Structure 1
Amino acid sequence: MTTSWIRAGAAWLAILAAASAPAEESASPSKPFRIVVVDEQTGRGVPLVELRTVNQILYVTDSNGVVAFDEPGLIGRRVFFAIKSHGYESPKDGFGIVGAALDTSPGGEARLKIKRLNVAERLYRVTGAGIYRDSLLTGVPAPTREPLLDGLVLGQDSVLSAVYRGKIHWFWGDTNQPAYPLGNFHTPGAVSDLPGKGGLDPSRGVDLIYFVDEKGFAKPTSKMPGEGPTWITGLAVLTDDQGRERMFANYAKIKPPMTTYELGAVEWDPAKNEFVKRAVYSGPPETSTGETLSGHTFQHRDGDRDYVYYCNPFPLTRVPADPASIIDEKAVEVFTCLEAGTRIDQEKLDRDDEGRLRYSWKKATQRLDQRGQDRLVKAGKLKAEEALLQLRDATTGKRVLAHGGSAAWNAYRRRWVLLFVEIGGTSMLGEMWFSEADTPLGPWVHARKIATHDTYSFYNPKQHAMFDQDGGRVVYFEGTYTASFSGAKEQTPRYEYNQMMYRLDLSDARLSLPAAVYEVDPMLATGGLATGPALAHGARGKAIAFFAPDRPGTAEIGVVEVADDRGGKTLALADPAVAGPALRFCILRPESRLAETTPIYEYSREGSTQRTFSIDPDRAIEGWRRSPQPVGRVWKNPGPTQVW
């Protein structure tokens, strides 16, 4: 009897122990189910794709496009995932539902294809925690040295970068940490090796090495005295008279609510890995010349002198490229039509005796941006067609208001390329655009949207010219992905307030924008027309006849340079797909009615094979006849006829 009770008690204990023990396969699977979301065009994993279950469990792909799914009670079953991603789409089913049902299993895998609508391709997250979290959980290798938590950084605002002493130096704004909601507000920094010199291919990632404090957190590199954060901008590397590289920036001191109370210049101290103060700019910040020294920079030679240009986002501010000038607020010049020494609110424009507007570089004068132009137009001081900045959507003609961005010379396009974020688009600061011009000063007219962020911000984008590939055909840019200013009701886990990298293939036909076509020969001996690249940087001072793409795209008719019957050169119509290097520009078909286009006519010289083209139907040139009907359509010039 006693033995029976003992045996019965042991059996009950075994049952209770089994009931209380974790069910390894059903409740806590040993291996997650791997979901990989890839770009159907490239086969590459797509980061920042949201997968949401029917009961609203949200997963977001990491920088390899991977999700590690391990939800107890769901894994091992067929699970439906709704799919959503900025600038990408998945097909809808018969009920209009977007997503896919997957048979999940521990250690299994599924691949989903997603269609890219963006022209630019999203590559990876540069900063923050868990960049390759899901990859590592499912056994997928990560390309970077610190794939989970580098420098104890959870989030970082607004990147700056420059190549200094053989390494890329990176700096950011306010930075979050795991230990407390308040982090580093005085410019953390890092370095990385250049591609081909120890650094990763930029298509794979960036291996950052942060400057850290004793706790391993990214330390301040620009903590200037005074209340509030220290932000820097206008990062530039110069060479002094002794041949030494020196790195400079401009700083701002900020106090609540978001007030700038001091501006100045700083220089990098390589022994301390921090910036030291070099100058404090005079006057209130809102009227200081130093307030124009913001944005990303590039260097360019104008005449017999090199200058540092500041993109705001247009490069209309500059200083001589030497260490003494870059910290001297009196050396700052802006390209403007305002009278020298004045501000926009004074509404004084620089006109000659005949009333013609004069643009030029001036000191101690306020920068005139798109909003400033609008103000002067509304006041009746400036005609709309006199405005220097005429940015618009190349397809619709809709005006585009640029915010932050950066410009760089591009060898592939043989033009200056501007990548910028729009303010007030379909999202407040989330729409990325591409534009190009023959000179740093323009003409900045046509643009194409290249990436969208629905109800989310992507501000202060930076083009990384040191990452250009294939002669500039492929370019890279990044920006700050954040819910700030966007009205977003949810913040994206791990991605919020971090830097996102994109790449852009400049051979994409969608980037065939109308470019300036110039009057170069009033006697029409060579057809009289040329585009910026054909002029070999000689656009300055030429009159703009009209705008037309200089490469195939939406325009289907080519204008090529051919030999004429007099031993010279002339222009003729041709198929742009086979025109090769003889192609000068392209035109739309005559029946096209794309916004802001106008008919273009062929003019032929009597008794000769010489031809030219003009949008003037009444052009009177002795010995030349106009075609009875337009041969196509091109874009009208909405702004000044001259390029500076």
Structure 2
Amino acid sequence: MWKSLCLLWIVWCSVPQCLLAGDYFQIRVIDAETKRGIPLAELETVNQILYVTDSNGIAAVNEPGLINQEVYFRIRSHGYEYPADGFGYRGKKLQVTPGGKAVLEMKRVNLAERLYRVTGGGIYRDSLLTGEPVPLQKPVLNAQVLGSDSVQNALFQGRVYWFWGDTNRPSYPLGNFQVPGAVSDLPDKGGLPIERGVNLDYFVDASGFAKKTCEMPGAGPTWIDALVTLKDKSGQERLLAKYVKVKAPLTVYERGLVEFNPETNQFEKRKVFDFDAPLYPVGHPVRYEMAGTEYILFGLSYPLIRVTANPTALADLSEYATYSYLKPGSGNEDWTVERDTEGALAYAWRKNVPPLDADLERKLIQQGKISAEEAYSRFRDIETKQVVQIHNSSVAWNAYRNKWTMIASQKNGTSMLGEIWYAEADSPLGPWKWGRKIVTHDRYSFYNPKQHPLFAREDGRLIYFEGTYTTLFSGNKVKTPRYDYNQIMYRLDLSDPRLDAKQFAQ
């Protein structure tokens, strides 16, 4: 009898708080257009108690002293607006009661719609507290991951493999700085529909924390990018990436090639690259066929580096070329510009020269070697006609538009690394002439955007992308609880009339 009572006590004590939903007042913030919940909407009381909606757009309120009271909540969210009253306040007075509910609509200013948080703790915390259904198998803590930096992913052996940068955990401020990873199933192969979320199955260590999959020798973190799946001569798929070793303050001192071993779920070093080589894999890769040969294109700002799409070529930096008008053999600070007989810049695939970017071309303009109008990096805002300096981008083919599409972050804008742009072109090489801002953040960074062509819906009409939401580089010292330093997924509807294809063809 005593043992039975003890067992009942243990079971009762272990019942999660989500079963006590009647104790909470639920505020659901929704997109006025789609009626979908808005993640990352902030609700702040007059005495600065802050609630942030989860990935269902829900905030659970149970504040002693405010229950059974009329409570005013200021309402704000990056890229969304709530109407202002006569005094300029944007908010709503609600009768807060246990078990009560309220729905608030916000107008979306962003063209892209924020869907959910991909990583971190408490993704559906408030939904559970208020008894709402959630799509994820692990909705509040997965592999002890509280925060993760930039994502790389690729389809490998029929599943999606995901890897991130530095990752936080609950037990100590220092976490995994050696590439955590996970796998997920494709939506049509047992995975969630991408509009609902991603069930990540992390590789974990003995403690249950997301394990180090790429701990290369040397001081400091290991980071990877340029993750790509290639077939070798036997037709075997191989998953490869560039790695870098980093020391303070964010100084890369080694780079090379690693390959993922699916039996051990570890990356293994294949080669250390010549650190002085001007061309190497970087950014998010793009497959592209030219003259009957399949290439992989790389680039941080623009995909202007190419190498033949096989593992042997990928490991050989002498095989890399970049689309450029710079003449090989000229100096680092005194590049020679090559022109054709008509005086136009002579673009060609060239080896042993660095890829073009805004900083390099600015020097060439200052030296009088090219004019500002000739620069490749002349990406402009459709609305203002101002030049936009791209920090990094993710390019993919889009069948709906029959164009190559680019999702890119802006280096300098209203919010440092917090603004995202959409553009399209006939080739992944561009020219990328015009872009439209589709996401903005108020004094918050959102960098390293990754477009997910694997998940595009309705023949590419709906495209999905994510990025790292963080205060880093923004100058903002106020971090959003649970969201900061994590990946957030967005959706863009290319049928939106504000994305009329004619604009990008000017």
TM-score, length of structure 2 as denominator length: 0.94
Match of 2:437? Answer: 449
Aligned counterparts of 2:42 and 2:249: Cα–Cα separation in 1: 34
Aligned counterparts of 1:150 and 1:130: Cα–Cα separation in 2: 9
Aligned counterparts of 1:274 and 1:29: Cα–Cα separation in 2: 42
Match of 1:462? Answer: 450
How does 1:55-94 map onto structure 2 within 5 Å?
55-94=47-86
Match of 1:604? Answer: none
Instruction: Tell me whether 1:375 sits opposite 2:376 in the alignment.
Output: no
Select the structure with the greater relative contact order (CA < 8 A; seq sep ≥ 6): 2
CA contact (8 A) 1:408 1:465 kept: yes
Which structure is larger by alpha-carbon Rg, 1 or 2? 1
Aligned counterparts of 2:179 and 2:394: Cα–Cα separation in 1: 20
Instruction: Tell me whether 1:361 sits opposite 2:349 in the alignment.
Output: yes
Aligned counterparts of 1:161 and 1:258: Cα–Cα separation in 2: 23
Q: After superposition, give the CA deviation of every residue in 1:82-129 in whole Å (9 maximum; x if it has no partner).
A: 001000000001111100000110011000000000000000000000
Q: 1:143 aligns with which of 135, 138, 159?
A: 135
Question: Against the structure 1 CA distance between its residues 344 and 433, is the aligned structure 2 distance closer, same or farther, given a 3 Å change threshold?
Answer: farther
Residue identity in the other structure for 1:300 = Y
Match of 2:488? Answer: 500
Instruction: Tell me whether 1:289 sits opposite 2:278 in the alignment.
Output: yes
Residue identity in the other structure for 1:423 = K
- Alpha-carbon offset, residue 32 of structure 1: 0.5
Match of 1:483? Answer: 471
Residue identity in the other structure for 2:277 = S
Aligned counterparts of 2:128 and 2:22: Cα–Cα separation in 1: 14
Secondary structure in structure 2 of the residue aligned to 1:296? coil
Aligned counterparts of 1:354 and 1:396: Cα–Cα separation in 2: 32
Instruction: Tell me whether 1:51 sits opposite 2:51 in the alignment.
Output: no
- Alpha-carbon offset, residue 346 of structure 1: 2.1
Residue identity in the other structure for 2:347 = Y
CA contact (8 A) 2:238 2:259 kept: yes
Q: 1:340 aligns with which of 324, 328, 333?
A: 328
Aligned counterparts of 2:179 and 2:333: Cα–Cα separation in 1: 33
Q: After superposition, give the CA deviation of every residue in 1:340-386 in whole Å (9 maximum; x if it has no partner).
A: 24465222112245543211111121111122112211210112222
- Alpha-carbon offset, residue 387 of structure 1: 1.6
CA contact (8 A) 1:343 1:365 kept: no
Secondary structure in structure 2 of the residue aligned to 1:345? coil
Residue identity in the other structure for 1:350 = E
Question: Against the structure 1 CA distance between its residues 324 and 428, is the aligned structure 2 distance closer, same or farther, given a 3 Å change threshold?
Answer: same
Aligned counterparts of 2:246 and 2:227: Cα–Cα separation in 1: 19
- Alpha-carbon offset, residue 294 of structure 1: 1.0
Aligned counterparts of 2:142 and 2:21: Cα–Cα separation in 1: 29
Aligned counterparts of 2:63 and 2:149: Cα–Cα separation in 1: 33
- Alpha-carbon offset, residue 392 of structure 1: 0.4
Residue identity in the other structure for 1:306 = E
Aligned counterparts of 2:129 and 2:35: Cα–Cα separation in 1: 21
Q: 2:121 aligns with which of 120, 129, 143?
A: 129
CA contact (8 A) 1:394 1:513 kept: no
Match of 2:3? Answer: none
Q: 2:94 aligns with which of 83, 98, 102?
A: 102
- Alpha-carbon offset, residue 509 of structure 1: 0.8
Instruction: Tell me whether 1:119 sits opposite 2:121 in the alignment.
Output: no
Aligned counterparts of 1:308 and 1:86: Cα–Cα separation in 2: 35
How does 1:229-248 map onto structure 2 within 5 Å?
229-248=221-240
Match of 1:200? Answer: 192
CA contact (8 A) 1:463 1:478 kept: yes
Secondary structure in structure 1 of the residue aligned to 2:127? helix
Residue identity in the other structure for 1:223 = E
Q: After superposition, give the CA deviation of every residue in 1:557-595 in whole Å (9 maximum; x if it has no partner).
A: xxxxxxxxxxxxxxxxxxxxxxxxxxxxxxxxxxxxxxx
Match of 1:4? Answer: none
Structure 1: gaps of 5 or more residues: 1-27, 517-546, 549-644
Q: After superposition, give the CA deviation of every residue in 1:464-508 in whole Å (9 maximum; x if it has no partner).
A: 000000000000000000000001131000000000000000111
Aligned counterparts of 1:246 and 1:346: Cα–Cα separation in 2: 40
Residue identity in the other structure for 2:365 = V
Aligned counterparts of 1:416 and 1:183: Cα–Cα separation in 2: 38
Greater displacement, 306-315 / 101-110: 306-315
Residue identity in the other structure for 1:459 = Y
Aligned counterparts of 1:111 and 1:148: Cα–Cα separation in 2: 23
Residue identity in the other structure for 1:149 = L
Aligned counterparts of 1:484 and 1:45: Cα–Cα separation in 2: 27
Residue identity in the other structure for 2:348 = S
How does 1:623-634 map onto structure 2 within 5 Å?
none
Match of 1:390? Answer: 378
Residue identity in the other structure for 2:74 = A
Secondary structure in structure 1 of the residue aligned to 2:188? coil
Q: After superposition, give the CA deviation of every residue in 1:394-433 in whole Å (9 maximum; x if it has no partner).
A: 1110111101120001000111000001011000100000
Give aligned-pair identity as a percent: 53
Match of 2:387? Answer: 399
Structure 2: gaps of 5 or more residues: 1-19
Residue identity in the other structure for 1:288 = A
Instruction: Tell me whether 1:428 sits opposite 2:416 in the alignment.
Output: yes
Q: After superposition, give the CA deviation of every residue in 1:436-488 in whole Å (9 maximum; x if it has no partner).
A: 00111112100000010110000000000000000000000000000000011
Q: 2:155 aligns with which of 142, 159, 163?
A: 163
Aligned counterparts of 2:287 and 2:179: Cα–Cα separation in 1: 23
- Alpha-carbon offset, residue 254 of structure 1: 0.6
Question: Against the structure 1 CA distance between its residues 212 and 358, is the aligned structure 2 distance closer, same or farther, given a 3 Å change threshold?
Answer: same
Secondary structure in structure 2 of the residue aligned to 1:346? coil
Secondary structure in structure 1 of the residue aligned to 2:228? strand
CA contact (8 A) 2:144 2:170 kept: yes
How does 1:594-609 map onto structure 2 within 5 Å?
none
Residue identity in the other structure for 1:376 = L
CA contact (8 A) 1:47 1:61 kept: yes
CA contact (8 A) 2:382 2:503 kept: no
CA contact (8 A) 1:289 1:332 kept: no
Aligned counterparts of 2:188 and 2:331: Cα–Cα separation in 1: 47
Residue identity in the other structure for 1:37 = V
Aligned counterparts of 1:498 and 1:29: Cα–Cα separation in 2: 27
Aligned counterparts of 2:21 and 2:306: Cα–Cα separation in 1: 60
CA-atom RMSD in angstroms: 1.4
CA contact (8 A) 2:301 2:357 kept: no
Aligned counterparts of 1:30 and 1:224: Cα–Cα separation in 2: 50
Instruction: Tell me whether 1:179 sits opposite 2:167 in the alignment.
Output: no
CA contact (8 A) 1:340 1:364 kept: yes
Secondary structure in structure 1 of the residue aligned to 2:131? coil
- Alpha-carbon offset, residue 329 of structure 1: 1.2
CA contact (8 A) 2:377 2:389 kept: no
CA contact (8 A) 1:342 1:364 kept: no
Instruction: Tell me whether 1:350 sits opposite 2:342 in the alignment.
Output: no
Aligned residues: 487
Question: Against the structure 1 CA distance between its residues 54 and 515, is the aligned structure 2 distance closer, same or farther, given a 3 Å change threshold?
Answer: closer
Question: Against the structure 1 CA distance between its residues 114 and 344, is the aligned structure 2 distance closer, same or farther, given a 3 Å change threshold?
Answer: farther
Secondary structure in structure 2 of the residue aligned to 1:113? strand
How does 1:274-353 map onto structure 2 within 5 Å?
274-282=266-274, 285=275, 287-290=276-279, 292-342=280-330, 345-352=333-340
TM-score, length of structure 1 as denominator length: 0.74
Residue identity in the other structure for 2:65 = G
Question: Against the structure 1 CA distance between its residues 343 and 123, is the aligned structure 2 distance closer, same or farther, given a 3 Å change threshold?
Answer: farther
Q: 2:250 aligns with which of 255, 258, 281?
A: 258
CA contact (8 A) 1:239 1:245 kept: yes
CA contact (8 A) 1:334 1:363 kept: yes
Question: Against the structure 1 CA distance between its residues 513 and 390, is the aligned structure 2 distance closer, same or farther, given a 3 Å change threshold?
Answer: farther
